[in-house]
């Protein structure tokens, strides 16, 4: 992979967007490699971290995207994971002049699965079943079980029970927003055809383990976008930015044309 972002990098902010049941703090080991080279922005999406809760029904990706773009007037580079990648695509469509480049990591852009036809049907069924299990447990006041369903789906059976009690309680306290995130993705009407004329350099970074749906939509996006490409990080799953932080730093260092070494501690 060769960097294509070799002009005015220092003046272009880098916006890092996290996924569901996370916060902007997840990016600290990753975004620190840009320290001293540009402005780095790691906001919390609605309902996570220090952001206000989402107390209304009918959340849309456009709601998240509109809030993210408020501080910016000129072009930005976006690095986004999972649900954050779906928000980033909505932002791109709503404000294409604002986005200079995209890095989408394990994108949860599941509104694109119908475009892939019968081969994506098992993934659509799995995700619908996951959504229903989380919603059912949340509506029956069992937020711990709802959070466990989400965490174990993406990280493997037993991942939630291996967490500390404090971590479990923190995730359970935010799992209602996960229901809203599913609603936002499910109500989105973007299609692959809409991205075929967007001349935005886009890199899709995927693992080779875990649920297949992000790989299906990620590879489809990389093929559809005129300046899109994809790559895989060996041994990584959906939580690639956490489990394979050093690998991702290497990828982004090349993408952003940063020559200096950027060591990072591997997350557990």
| 41 SS3 class | strand
Distance between CA 8 and CA 161 in Å, rounded? 46
Tell me the average pLDDT across 111-131: 98
User: Could you tell me which residues are beta bridge partners of residue 228?
Assistant: 202
Tell me the average pLDDT across 102-118: 98
Tell me the average pLDDT across 250-266: 70
Segment among 22-26, 56-60, 189-193, 207-211 with least mean pLDDT: 56-60
CA distances from 194 to 64, 82, 115, 120, 224 (A): 20, 20, 12, 19, 9
Q: Nearest Cα to 161, choosing from 147, 173, 175, 174?
A: 147
Residue partners of 56: CB distance under 8 A and separation at least 6: none
Is the pLDDT assigned to residue 261 strictly greater than 50? no
Tell me the average pLDDT across 237-244: 97
User: What is the predicted pLDDT for the residue at 9?
Assistant: 66
> Each residue of 153-186: pLDDT tens digit?
999 999 999 999 999 999 999 999 999 999 999 9
| 5 SS3 class | coil
Is the pLDDT assigned to residue 111 strictly greater than 50? yes
User: What is the predicted pLDDT for the residue at 5?
Assistant: 54
Is the pLDDT assigned to residue 225 strictly greater than 90? yes
Confidence of residue 262 (pLDDT cuts 50, 70, 90): very low
Is the pLDDT assigned to residue 223 strictly greater than 60? yes
Full-model pTM: 0.92
Tell me the average pLDDT across 235-242: 97
Q: Which two tokens stand for residue 172?
A: 């359970």
Tell me the average pLDDT across 80-103: 97
User: What is the predicted pLDDT for the residue at 125?
Assistant: 98
User: What is the predicted pLDDT for the residue at 134?
Assistant: 98
Tell me the average pLDDT across 45-66: 89
> How much of the chain exceeds pLDDT 90, in percent?
83
- What is 197-258 written as a DSSP string? T----EEEEEESSS-SHHHHHHHHHHHHSTTEEEEEETT--TTHHHHTHHHHHHHHHHHTT-
Q: Which two tokens stand for residue 160?
A: 């939630």
Residue partners of 103: CB distance under 8 A and separation at least 6: 77, 78, 79, 80, 202, 203, 204, 205, 251, 252, 255
Task: Indicate the average pLDDT of the chain.
Answer: 92
User: What is the predicted pLDDT for the residue at 268?
Assistant: 34
Confidence of residue 121 (pLDDT cuts 50, 70, 90): very high
Distance between CA 135 and CA 142 in Å, rounded? 10
Domains of the chain: 9-113+190-255 (3.40.50.1820), 118-185 (no CATH)
CA distances from 11 to 39, 75, 98, 164 (A): 8, 9, 13, 41
Is the pLDDT assigned to residue 94 strictly greater than 60? yes
User: What is the predicted pLDDT for the residue at 32?
Assistant: 87
User: What is the predicted pLDDT for the residue at 152?
Assistant: 98
């Amino acid at each position: 992979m060769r960097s294509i972002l070799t002009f005015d990098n220092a003046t272009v902010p880098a916006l890092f967007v996290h996924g569901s049941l996370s916060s902007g703090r997840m990016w600290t080991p990753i975004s620190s490699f840009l320290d001293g080279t540009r402005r780095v922005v790691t906001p919390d999406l609605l309902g996570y971290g220090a952001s206000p809760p989402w107390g209304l029904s009918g959340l849309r990706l456009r709601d998240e995207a509109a809030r993210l773009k408020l501080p910016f007037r000129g072009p930005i580079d976006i690095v986004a994971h999972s649900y954050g990648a779906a928000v980033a695509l909505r932002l791109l469509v709503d404000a294409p002049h604002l986005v200079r480049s995209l890095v989408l990591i394990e994108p949860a852009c599941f509104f694109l699965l119908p475009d892939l036809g019968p081969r994506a049907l098992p993934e659509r069924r799995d995700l619908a079943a996951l959504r229903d299990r989380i919603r059912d447990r949340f509506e029956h006041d069992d937020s711990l079980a709802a959070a466990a369903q989400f965490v174990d789906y993406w990280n493997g059976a037993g991942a939630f029970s291996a967490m500390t009690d404090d971590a479990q309680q923190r995730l359970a306290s935010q799992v209602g927003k996960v229901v809203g995130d599913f609603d936002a993705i499910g109500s989105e009407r973007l299609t692959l055809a809409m991205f075929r004329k967007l001349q935005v350099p886009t890199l899709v970074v995927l693992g080779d383990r875990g649920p297949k749906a992000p790989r299906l939509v990620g590879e489809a996006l990389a093929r559809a976008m005129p300046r899109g490409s994809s790559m895989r990080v060996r041994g990584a799953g959906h939580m690639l930015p956490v489990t394979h932080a050093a690998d991702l730093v290497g990828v982004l260092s090349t993408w952003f044309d940063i020559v200096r070494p950027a060591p990072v501690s591997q997350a557990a």
